[in-house]
Amino acid sequence: MGYTSILADYNDILLPEDIQKILKTGRNTVYKYLAEGRIRSLRIGGKYRIPKRYLLEFIYPDVDFTKEEN
């Protein structure tokens, strides 16, 4: 199954606004998940940046994304 295909239209590094669209949830929920670490992220210049892999780990917690997909 191509897990990354659901994110094919997005850049490799996502913004919180992208997460809102993908998860179809509100701004406050996204920022809460980021602040709590439920969705892993990087802070660059005080702003959240989320690699696609981190979002996939949140959506599919039982899948190991450390190995490359074939």
**Domain boundaries, given as residue ranges, for the chain:** 3-59
* Alpha carbon distance 55, 50 (integer Å): 7
pTM of the model: 0.84
> Domain spanning 3-59: which CATH class is it, in words?
mainly alpha
User: What is the per-residue pLDDT for 2?
Assistant: 67
Q: Which amino acid is at 65?
A: F
Residue pLDDT tens, the chain, 70 long: 566 678 889 999 999 999 999 999 999 999 999 999 999 999 999 999 999 999 999 999 888 877 655 4
Q: Which residue has the tokens 């709590």?
A: 36
For the chain, the C-alpha Rg in angstroms (whole number) is 12
CB-CB contact of 4 with 40 (8 Å):
no
* Alpha carbon distance 40, 50 (integer Å): 7
User: What is the per-residue pLDDT for 70?
Assistant: 46
User: What is the per-residue pLDDT for 20?
Assistant: 97
* Alpha carbon distance 13, 55 (integer Å): 10
